[in-house]
Amino acid sequence: MRVFVTGGSGFVGGAVVRDLVGAGHQVLGLARSDASAAVLAAAGATPHRGSLEDLDSLRAGASGADGVVHTAFDTADLARFAENGRTERSALRAIGGVLAGSGRPLVVTAGFAPVVPEQPGRPVTEDDLPRPAGPFGRDAELTAAALVEDGVCVSVVRLPCVHGDGDRFTVPRYIDVAVRTGVSAYVGDGGNRWPAVHHADAARVYRLALEAAVPGARHHAVAEEGVPFRDVAEVIGRRLCVPVTSLGADEAAAHFGVLAYFAQSDGPASSTLTRQRLGWEPVGPGLLRDIDRPSYYTAPAAPRPT
């Protein structure tokens, strides 16, 4: 299968490319720079120059592919989430326009922020529907649903906290806050839960979803339903040799900045249906074990949002 991948030089997308190539697929990877092209070539993919803003490059990549996997999204600056979301929606519509009516699959990345279970506190399932995204949600899933109506064979992979070698985006940002403030903090009792997955396990969900090609399907790349944020803070504090402390809700914004939203979020998620439907079983290390390694405390985080 010839697969066009957006974001293939990134953390999650890179794992997807490696998994696809390892499974015998040919990969065409979107590259907006020479550096990205070099990363893709080293992973066994063929670089395709372009970007999410260059809709003609997206159409060209999709037109020559048997399927498309979309993982590209700029998470470096959380203040630009809304703008980046608009760019993503335009990109998906351009790709969808090429694939409509062809039966060729498109797998789209989504998050859990816009998904709310009917019963508060219970794990989100694949049957729970998204609502319009808040400040840090992506409307990619709603865009995907509209593409299904247009005759595109599109499915969604919902990503939780993704960890592993090369991570610069989630836990590393909280490590950066702990280094800067001298405290590893959580809010309240810290019992709010993060679903999590190792990036290699997440990559297999994308491939299996692509191969299954079920229009409108929602898949959860979730290995752990919910890791208490307090436990994450405790690992960070022990590794950095800084105090671990609880903050009041009114102190969170001053301490974490924009990251306070995620530090307080409670969003357990199940992957029972995904495991049954795709035959997927995660094998990578859990979140706490993975971040309890020296490499997590030497790599720089993505630019800290202000």
pLDDT of residue 84: 76
pLDDT of residue 303: 58
Annotate 237-259 with DSSP letters as a single string: HHHHT--EEEE-HHHHHHHHGGG
pLDDT of residue 86: 85
pLDDT in tens, the chain (306 residues): 999 999 999 999 999 999 999 999 999 999 999 999 999 999 999 999 999 999 999 999 999 999 999 999 876 665 666 777 789 999 999 999 999 999 999 999 998 876 766 677 789 999 998 876 555 556 899 999 999 999 999 999 999 999 999 998 899 999 999 999 999 999 999 999 999 999 999 999 999 999 999 999 999 999 999 999 999 999 999 999 999 999 999 999 999 998 998 999 999 999 999 999 999 999 999 999 999 999 999 867 765 433
pLDDT of residue 138: 65
Q: Which pairing describes strands 105-111 and 67-70: parallel, antiparallel, or unpaired?
A: parallel
Q: How far apart are the first and last CA of the chain?
A: 43
Residue 73 to residues 78, 81, 140, Cα–Cα distance (Å): 11, 9, 10
Q: Where are the domains of the chain?
A: 2-162+196-222, 163-195+225-268+285-297
d(CA 64, CA 41): 18
Asked if 1 and 65 touch (Cβ cutoff 8 Å), the reply is no
Asked if 133 and 86 touch (Cβ cutoff 8 Å), the reply is no
Asked if 140 and 110 touch (Cβ cutoff 8 Å), the reply is yes
The whole model's pTM is what?
Answer: 0.94
Asked if 156 and 219 touch (Cβ cutoff 8 Å), the reply is yes
pLDDT of residue 301: 72
Phi then psi for 101, rounded to 5 degrees? 80, 0
CATH of 2-162+196-222, one of 3.40.50.720, 3.10.20.30, 3.30.465.10, 3.40.50.1860: 3.40.50.720
What is the token pair recorded at 272?
A: 């029972």
Q: Angle at CA 169, nearest 5°, toward 294 and 232?
A: 55
pLDDT of residue 135: 55
Torsion of CA 5, 125, 86, 15, to 10 degrees: -20
